Amino acid sequence: MNAKKIGITGWGSVSALGSDKNEIWESYLNHQHYFKKQTFLQTADWCAPLSSSAKEIVDAIHNEKHAYKNLDPSVIFAIAASRLAIKDSNWENVDKEFGINIGSSRGATTLFEKYHSDFIESKETSPLCSPATTLGNIASWVATDLETNGPAISHSITCSTALHAIINAVVWISSGHTNRFLAGGSEAPLTPFTLAQMKALKIYSSATDDYPCKAMDLQKQKSSMILGEGATSFNLEASPTNAIAYITGIGYGVEVIKNGASLSADALCMQKSMRKALNNHNPNSIDVVIMHSPGTVLGDLAEMQAIEAIFDNNLPLLTCNKWKLGHTFGTSGALSLEMALLMIQHNHFINPPYLKTQSPIKEIKKIMINAVGFGGNAASIIVEK
């Protein structure tokens, strides 16, 4: 991929699974989901809000400074995850010359809906509206909070946003412009208008069984996507000696847009991204693929067909986490990467409990993570022990 070995030396996250690595791993080990019913529109719908421990951290930051009271939850989530990441890698005690790339699919959904509602009612809006809802808010405020001196980048590449941030950080480090980068995603989509958009697509779960999101289940008759919220930030370094895992493959791919979701029946964009990521890798060396698998009928099937096209008859172990913590849009790939690192650290494969148990392997060394979003824009990365 490049001459420099780029390693992940730490990370931080806030999600429905928690905010502490041990807490998050324990959440993965049980067979329960972390969905709750909340009323956003006229009826109560499934969603995956932050855990109580994660919400406590987020609320403390929100009330920490007057300026933070005017920030969207997506920004506060990113600050929380980034502080945890910095502490995890002990970057608090090194120079502040590192880059930041934290993206979001939807951005400041809570504030945008609030300000727009106020405008419809009064035909006026707050002077805070424009600065508080711009997408650049996320990385800029994280940089301000951490007092960094490197580049601060925000972007939206729908649901593959976080993996594209990781890829971008890899390229920055490989170029020699910086030796360290903080990269990830943040999403706070639990709002009435965002939920209404998903329900309009006819993909939202109305299930009442034990697992309301059946991600990866190709036998399901109805789509079962559920929204979740959270943020994750990773510390990437050039040739570290204390890496949890190394990023040894990056890939990306797009499709010709033919419909709103822009994903073909065999997910051509994902085939492209996986092939690029597998450059210089034997496909048989991949132990696990963490699928994007949002829980939709067509999306799950398309990704499976793409994986079968790449790996043929030698499929690696397949898993995902949206059955447990929901679809967090722009940060979903980052939460999948977190899952990958935890499985590598603990040498333990997490299988969705409602699917057939897959044959275990002795050691998990190499994992591919997929993400894809509207616009037919896919990303894949490979992390290696």
Q: Are strands 366-373 and 288-290 parallel, antiparallel or unpaired?
A: parallel
Q: Find out whether 242 and 9 touch, Cβ atoms under 8 Å.
A: yes
CA dist 319 and 188 (Å) reads 24
Q: Cα 140–168–198 angle (5° rounding)?
A: 75
CA dist 53 and 35 (Å) reads 16
How confident is the model at residue 41, as a pLDDT? 87
Q: Find out whether 151 and 140 touch, Cβ atoms under 8 Å.
A: no
Distances (CA, A) of 279 to 211, 282, 308, 319, 337: 37, 8, 17, 22, 19
Q: 48: which strand partners?
A: 228
Q: Which two tokens stand for residue 153?
A: 């980048």
What is the chain's pLDDT, residue by residue, as a tens digit (385 residues)?
Answer: 456 799 999 999 999 999 999 999 999 999 999 999 999 988 999 999 999 999 999 999 999 999 999 999 999 999 999 999 999 999 988 889 999 999 999 999 999 999 999 999 999 999 999 999 998 999 999 999 999 999 999 999 999 999 999 999 999 999 999 999 999 999 999 999 999 999 999 999 999 999 999 999 999 999 999 999 999 999 999 999 999 999 999 999 998 877 666 678 889 999 999 999 999 999 999 999 999 999 999 999 999 999 999 999 899 999 999 999 999 999 999 999 999 999 999 999 999 999 999 988 999 999 999 999 987 899 999 999 9
**CB neighbours of residue 362 within 10 Å:** 7
CA dist 113 and 132 (Å) reads 12
Phi, psi of 310 (to 5 degrees): -85, -45
Render the burial of 308-319: b for 16+ CB within 10 Å, e for the rest. Answer: eebbeeeebbbb
Q: Are strands 317-319 and 288-290 parallel, antiparallel or unpaired?
A: parallel
CA dist 274 and 355 (Å) reads 24
CA-based torsion, 57, 165, 183, 241: positive or negative: positive
